[in-house]
Structure 1
Amino acid sequence: MNSVINIVIFVDVISALSEGSLHGSIFLMDDSEFQSQHEGSSELMTHCATGQLVKWKIYAIDVQTPVEIKSISFGGVPIGNVPQEESAQNGDSKVWSGYVPTWMEENKSYSYQLEVQMGKGECSDMLIDTASLVRVSPSLSC
């Protein structure tokens, strides 16, 4: 089993800011070996195991507007934070990471809130809660 799952987030910043919403403007994919569902959509269901490290990395489709992960949480409880050593090493503050919580029940979907900041200004922060983590048993994932 891979000990790290990478989730890549792409944001169509121009669309999100024009529409005032991330719905239809954000796309997530992962490299989980447990056959995640809804790849390439805002409703990604990342299948993971307890103890795995999940790393989210965000990119703007529009390269002129910066985009960052402001927070990731389950019902307001933070899932982790920007790893200082990686940010300093790469000069990149677009990475967020956390471990799959031990309290997650097996085969149950847990939506997380992803807060994104695009540029600066009054309407630059947006939240979406359609992606989720699903804890699976590594022995059942063949």
Structure 2
Amino acid sequence: MKTVNVLVVVDVEGALAGSLGDNVYLVDTNKHFGSSGEGQEGLSTACRDGQLVAWNVVPVSPSNDVEIAEFTGQIINDGTCVPKLVSTPDGDYWEGRVEARGTTGYQQYSLVLTMDGSRATFDPWLLIQE
């Protein structure tokens, strides 16, 4: 199975002035193969048991700073997917293996971001398919 890559794009200035939910945009490498909500905060990333999911975050403006601080929520609490920080010479990203143990359907998680020193959270989904 190929890794599903999730890209989180953040308008940091907009998020700090307003709400993160209105200023975060998610896409993944599934394209039209099961994921939904692309370009919004509520992306539902389609995946299967045993599949790797990788998350990367970038700011819209290169003058801003944004990082993934941690993951919380249902996928962590249930042990369905526990992403870990991966450091490479090309940069950092987070990666976790889906360990569904028979679970299918929507599993929500919270993505905690640090933006120019401030923290904020939003809640996308994994859609675990058979």
State the Cα RMSD in Å.
Answer: 1.7
Partner Cα separation in structure 1 for residue 55 and residue 103 of structure 2: 22
Instruction: Give the 3-state SS of the residue equivalent to 1:63 in structure 2.
Output: coil
Q: How many residues in Structure 1 have an aligned counterpart in Structure 2? A: 125
1:101 maps to 2:113:
no
TM-score (norm 1): 0.80
Q: Which residue number corresponds to residue 49 of structure 2?
A: 50
Runs of at least 5 residues in structure 2 that lack an aligned partner in the other structure: none
Measured in 2, the distance between the counterparts of 1:73 and 1:104 equals 21
- Paired residue for 2:115, among 102, 115, 118? 118
Instruction: Indicate conservation of the 8 Å contact 1:12/1:25, yes or no.
Output: yes
**How far did 1:104 drift?**
6.0
Name the structure where strand makes up a greater proportion of residues.
2
Amino acid at match of 1:88: T
- State the SS of the aligned residue for 1:24: helix
Q: Secondary structure at the match of 2:39?
A: coil
The answer to whether the 8 Å contact 1:35/1:47 transfers is yes
| 1:134 alignment partner in structure 2 | 127
TM-score (normalised: structure 2): 0.87
Q: Secondary structure at the match of 2:89?
A: helix
**Deviation of the 1:28 alpha carbon:** 0.4
Greater radius of gyration (CA): 1
Report deviation, 1:114.
Answer: 0.2
Question: Please, which moves more after superposition, 23-32 or 68-77?
Answer: 68-77
